[in-house]
A and B are shown apart, each in its own frame.
Chain A
Amino acid sequence: MKVPVRKQPSWFQVLLILPGVAALVVTFLFPLLWLARTSIQPTTGHTLSLHAYARLFEDSFYWWVIGRTIFIGLLCVVITVPMAFPVALFLARSQSRWRGTLTALAIAPLLTSTVIRTYGWMVILGRHGLINTTLVWAGILAQPTRLDNGPFATVVALVEILLPYGIISILSHLSRLDTELEQAASLLGARRLQVFWRVLLPLSVPGLMTASLLVFVLAISSLVTPQLMGGGRVFVLATEIFNQTTIALDWPFAGALSITLLGFFGIFVALYQRILQRVESQS
Chain B
Amino acid sequence: MAETDSTPAYLSVSGFTRQFPGAERRSVDDVSFTLKRGQMLTLLGPSGCGKTTLLRMIAGLTPVDSGQLHVAGRQMTETPLHARNMGMVFQSYALFPHLSVARNISFGLDVRGVKGEESRRRVAELVSLMHLTGLENRRITELSGGQRQRVALARALAIKPDILMLDEPLANLDIRLRDTVRTEIRALQQRLKITAIFVTHDQDEALSIADQVAVMSEGRLQQFGTPADLYTRPANRFVASFVGRSNFIEAVWVDSKRIHVEGIGTLFIGFSESWKGHRTLLIRPHRIRLGNSLEACCQGVVENIVYTGERRTYLVRVGYVRLTVEQQEDQGQPAQMGDMVGLHWQTTDMSVLQDSISNDSTSGHPSS
**A and B are partners in one complex rather than unrelated chains:** yes
Instruction: Give the Cβ gap from A195 to chain B, nearest Cβ, in Å.
Output: 8
Q: Are B61 and A191 in contact (CB under 8 A)?
A: no
Stretch of B84-92, B180-188, B208-216, B298-306 that contacts chain A? B84-92
> B110 and A198: CB pair below 8 A?
yes
Within B68-85, which residues are at the interface with A (CB < 8 Å)?
A: 81-85
Which residues of chain B are within 8 angstroms of A178 by Cβ–Cβ distance?
Answer: 92, 94
| Distance of B152 from chain A, by nearest CB (Å) | 9
Contact A189 B85 (CB under 8 A): yes
Q: A184-B94, A202-B98 are in contact. Are A283 and B139 (CB under 8 A)?
A: yes
| Count, chain A residues at interface, CB 8 A | 20
B111 A194 Cβ-Cβ under 8 A:
yes
Question: B-facing mask of A264-282, CB < 8 A → 1, else 0?
Answer: 0000000000000000001
B45 at the interface (CB under 8 A from A): no
B100 contacts partner chain A, Cβ-Cβ < 8 Å: yes
Residue in contact with A186 in the complex, picked from B81, B98, B110, B155, CB distance below 8 Å: B81
Inter-chain CA distance A199–B96, complex, in Å, is: 7
Q: Is the CB of B92 within 8 A of A180?
A: yes
> Could you say which of B61, B99, B107 contacts A183, with CB atoms under 8 Å apart?
B61
A90 CA / B110 CA spacing, docked (Å): 26
Chain A, residue nearest B59 (CB): A187
Say whether B111 contacts A191, CB under 8 Å: yes
User: Complex Cα distance A136/B112, Å?
Assistant: 51
CB distance from A18 to the nearest CB of B (A): 42
Contact with A along B247-286 (1 / 0, CB 8 A): 0000000000000000000000000000000000000000
Partner pick for A203 among B82, B97, B139, CB 8 A cutoff: B97
The interface residues of chain B lying within 8 Å CB-to-CB of A191 are: 82, 111
In the complex, whether B357 has a CB less than 8 A from a CB of chain A is no
In the complex, whether B219 has a CB less than 8 A from a CB of chain A is no
- Provide the residues of chain B in CB contact with A198, threshold 8 Å: 107, 110-111
Shortest CB-to-CB span from A207 to chain B, Å, is 13
Q: Is residue A188 contacting chain B, with contact meaning CB distance below 8 A? A: yes
* A254, B86: Cα distance in complex, Å: 65
The reply to whether the CB of B159 lies closer than 8 angstroms to some CB of chain A is yes
A189–B139 CB distance below 8 A: no
B93 nearest CB across to chain A (Å): 9
Please measure, in the bound complex, the distance between the C-alpha atom of A203 and the C-alpha atom of B108, giving whole angstroms.
18
Which residue of B88, B103, B112 is within 8 Å of A187 (Cβ)? B88
B98 pairs with A188, CB closer than 8 A:
no
Determine if A26 is an interface residue (Cβ-Cβ < 8 Å). Answer: no
Chain A nearest Cβ from B163, distance in angstroms: 11
Interface size on B, residues (CB 8 A): 30
Q: Decide yes or no whether A190 CB sits under 8 A from chain B.
A: yes
Give the CA-CA distance A282 to B100 in the complex, in Å.
Answer: 10
For the complex formed, measure the closest distance between the CB of B27 and the CB atoms of chain A, giving whole angstroms: 16
Q: Are A187 and B107 in contact (CB under 8 A)?
A: no
Nearest CB of A to B133, in Å:
20
Contacting pair B100 A187 (CB below 8 A): no
Q: Which residue of A lies closest to B86 (CB)?
A: A187
Give B57 Cβ to nearest chain A Cβ, in Å.
13
Taking a contact as CB atoms under 8 Å apart, the answer to whether B107 and A283 are in contact is no
Interface pair A189/B159, CB less than 8 Å apart: yes
Q: Which residue of chain B has its CB nearest to the CB of A281?
A: B139
**Considering the chains assembled together, what is the distance between the CA atoms of A282 and B97 in angstroms?**
10
Q: Is the CB of A189 within 8 A of B112?
A: yes
A181 within 8 A of B: yes
Chain B 340-367 interface residues, beta-carbon cutoff 8 Å to A: none
Residues on A with beta carbons closer than 8 Å to the beta carbon of B81: 183, 186-187
Q: Which of A180, A189, A203 contacts B111 (CB 8 A)?
A: A189
Is A110 positioned at the interface, with any CB of B under 8 Å from its CB? no
A185 at the interface (CB under 8 A from B): yes
Q: A184-B90, A198-B110 known; A189 and B98 CB under 8 Å?
A: no
CA distance A58 to B59 in the complex (A): 68
Are A187 and B111 interface neighbours, CB within 8 A? no
* Bound CA span A192–B80, Å: 10
Q: Is there an interface contact between B94 and A181, defined as CB atoms closer than 8 Å?
A: yes
Q: Closest Cβ of chain B: how far from A200's Cβ, in Å?
A: 10
A194–B109 Cα gap in the complex (Å)?
Answer: 12
Across the interface, do A188 and B108 meet the contact criterion of CB distance under 8 Å? Answer: yes
Q: Is the CB of B159 within 8 A of A188?
A: yes
Closest beta carbon of chain A to B68's beta carbon, Å: 20
A183 to B84 CA separation, bound complex (whole angstroms): 12
Contacts of A188 in B (CB 8 A): 82, 87, 107-108, 111, 155-156, 159
Decide if B92 touches A283 in the complex (CB within 8 Å). no
In the bound complex, what is the Cα–Cα distance between A198 and B82 (angstroms)? 14
> Please, how many angstroms separate the alpha-carbon atoms of A184 and B86 in the complex?
10
* Given contact pairs A191-B82, A198-B110, A283-B139, A181 touches B88 in the complex (Cβ within 8 A): no
A2 to B67, CA, bound (A): 59
User: In the complex, A202 Cα to B97 Cα: how many Å?
Assistant: 10
Q: With contacts A178-B92, A183-B61, A184-B90 known, is A190 near B111, CB below 8 A?
A: yes
17 other A-B residue contacts (CB within 8 Å) besides A185-B107, A188-B155: A183-B81, A183-B90, A184-B95, A184-B155, A186-B82, A187-B82, A187-B87, A188-B82, A188-B156, A189-B112, A190-B111, A191-B111, A194-B82, A194-B111, A282-B98, A283-B103, A283-B139
Can you spell out 10 A-B residue pairs with CB atoms less than 8 angstroms apart? A184-B155, A185-B111, A187-B87, A188-B111, A189-B111, A190-B108, A198-B110, A283-B98, A283-B99, A283-B139
Closest 9 CB pairs of A and B: A188-B108, A180-B94, A186-B81, A184-B94, A190-B111, A202-B98, A194-B111, A283-B98, A187-B88
Chain B positions near chain A (C-beta within 8 angstroms): 59-61, 81-88, 90, 92, 94-100, 103, 107-108, 110-112, 139, 155-156, 159
Query: A residues engaging B (CB < 8 A)?
Result: 178, 180-181, 183-192, 194, 198-199, 202-203, 282-283
